[in-house]
Structure 1
């Protein structure tokens, strides 16, 4: 198993995206709009980062389901490999999570912390493992895959000794068309008919609800700690020790936290350039958690094409 060790493709991101950043107190907002086509050079620049992000899960899943990744092995058809063979909807979910990490490592967020992602948490995608296990034994077992539970990604701000100063935990969502109604459903929950008024109303179970009620030390921190213990216990000894103190049940040591909400997807003709979908001038009133908040909106012109080209290119050789 390996750590995530690929830096974000800075030059490609600068060429690809136009950025508009703002801050208000402990609230940061970053609007990113696509600035160029997703040409071959852009795809090539992204592949290494995506391979690094999925490398741990790829090795783990392939061992679990019985696929030998050695080039001389008598492996099954290349179509049944992680993550390339996952259904289209799953790919788009993974894309959002990897992009959340890439953007977090590249751009300056609220608080101006230097974020690093030791390893992505994709190996904890239980339904993906079950799907692959069945598919490699019966290629007719194609179906949709349930998303991974818990935090979409976690990054750390480390000091010179490798101790954790702060962590950032993210919700990353991809939608094909980022219409206002789609974003409203993401943030406020699905619409249901009120039995008293007969009006359609959001159920209040969207991202605001989830992020406001999240526990101070989410389960993803324990998952990350387990991976660090397995992959590089010496290199991350200080971080592992800090997480021991943070994750105890009684008298837990508080760890400063930043929340991230990243909405990514396709642009719509009704949206004008430089127009955000979530309020940027001041912290949204719906946000009631005590932690710093960073919102990122990634608006793309050809996102579906980009996603499929990236995932088709992973480990293509």
Structure 2
């Protein structure tokens, strides 16, 4: 198992995206709009980062599946691999989570913290593991895959001694078309009829609800600690010890936190350039958590081409 050790492709991001950042009090907003078409060069620039993000889960899942990844082993009969063989909609969800990491490591967020991602948490995607285990034994077992539970994304701000000063926890969502109605459903929940009212109303179970009610130390921190203990217990000994004090049930030491909300997807003709889908002038009134908030909107013109191009190219050589 390996740590995530690939720096983000900042030069490619600068070529690909235009940025419109803002910061007000404890609220940061970053609008990113696609500025050049997806091509083979852009895909190639992204491959190493995506491979690094998925490397731990790939090794873990392939071991669970019974596939040997050693370079000397003949892979000619292996057709089912992670994450390439996951369903299209699942790969789009993974894309959003990896992009949350890439952008967090590349752009300045609220508070100007330097964020690092020791390892992505993809190995805890239980339904992907079950799906691939069955698929490698019966290629007719294709189906949709449920998403991974818990925080979509975690990163740490470490000091020079390796101690954790703050963590960032994020919800990262991909939608093919980012119409206002789609974004409203993401943020406020699905529409349904209330009793005695024929009008459809949001059920209030969207991203704002999830972020506001999240516990101070989410389960993802325990998952991250387990991975650090397994992969590099010496290199991250100080961070592991801090997490021990943060995750204890009684008398836990609170850890400063930043919340990240990232929505990514395809642009629509009705949206004008430089127009955000989530208000940026002030902290959204729906946000009631006590932590700093960073919102990122990634608006793309040919995101499907990029996603398929990148995931088809992973470990292709």
TM range (shorter): over 0.9
Asked if residue 306 in structure 1 is aligned to residue 306 in structure 2, the reply is yes
Q: Deviations for 1:74-93, whole angstroms, at most 9, x for unmatched residues?
A: 44644300000000000000
Per the alignment, in what secondary structure is the counterpart of residue 106 of structure 1? coil
Residue in 2 that maps onto 1:114: 114
Corresponding residue for residue 198 of structure 2: 198
Q: Is 1:102 paired with 2:102?
A: yes
Worse-superposed segment, 201-210 or 189-198: 189-198
Q: Which residue of 2 aligns with 1:44?
A: 44
Q: Deviation digits for residues 26-74 of structure 1, max 9, x if unmatched?
A: 0000000000011111111000000000000000000011001123324
Is the contact made by 1:31 and 1:274 (CA closer than 8 Å) also made in structure 2?
Answer: yes
Q: Distance in 1 between matches of 2:152 and 2:283?
A: 22
SS of residue in 1 equivalent to 2:105: helix
TM-score (norm 1): 0.99
Paired with 2:273 and 2:263, the residues of 1 have a C-alpha distance of 16
Partner of 2:240: 240
How far apart, CA to CA, are the structure 2 residues paired with 1:159 and 1:176? 38
TM-score (norm 2): 0.99
Alignment check: 8 A CA contact 1:76 1:136 kept? no
Q: Which moved more, 1:215-224 or 1:196-205?
A: 196-205
Aligned to 2:290: 290
Choose 76-85 or 276-285, whichever is displaced more.
76-85
Provide the C-alpha distance between the structure 2 equivalents of 1:100 and 1:149, rounded to a whole number of angstroms. Answer: 16
- Give me the whole-angstrom Cα distance separating, in 1, the residues matched to 2:72 and 2:221: 37
1:83-130: per-residue Cα shift (whole Å, max 9, x none)? 000000000000000000000000000000000000000000000000
| Other-structure match for 1:261 | 261
Instruction: Kindly indicate whether residue 2 of structure 2 is the aligned counterpart of residue 2 of structure 1.
Output: yes
SS in 1 for 2:299: strand
Unaligned runs of 5+ in 1: none
- Give me the whole-angstrom Cα distance separating, in 2, the residues matched to 1:74 and 1:312: 20
1:235 aligns to what SS in structure 2? Answer: coil
State yes or no: 1:30 paired with 2:50.
no
What are the ranges of 5 or more consecutive residues in structure 2 without an aligned counterpart? none
Number of the residue aligned with 2:183: 183
How far, CA to CA, are the matches of 2:201 and 2:164 in structure 1?
A: 42
Q: Is the partner of 2:60 in helix, strand or coil?
A: helix
CA–CA distance in 2 between the matches of 1:59 and 1:194?
A: 47
> 2:235 is paired with a residue of what secondary structure?
coil
2:226 maps to 226
* Cα RMSD for the two superposed structures: 0.8
1:54 match:
54
The answer (yes or no) to whether the contact 1:192–1:201 under 8 Å persists in 2 is yes
May I ask how many residue pairs the two structures share in their alignment? 317
Residue of structure 2 equivalent to 1:136: 136
Aligned mates of 1:110, 1:54 — CA distance in 2: 27
8 Å CA contact 1:67–1:76 kept in 2: the answer is no
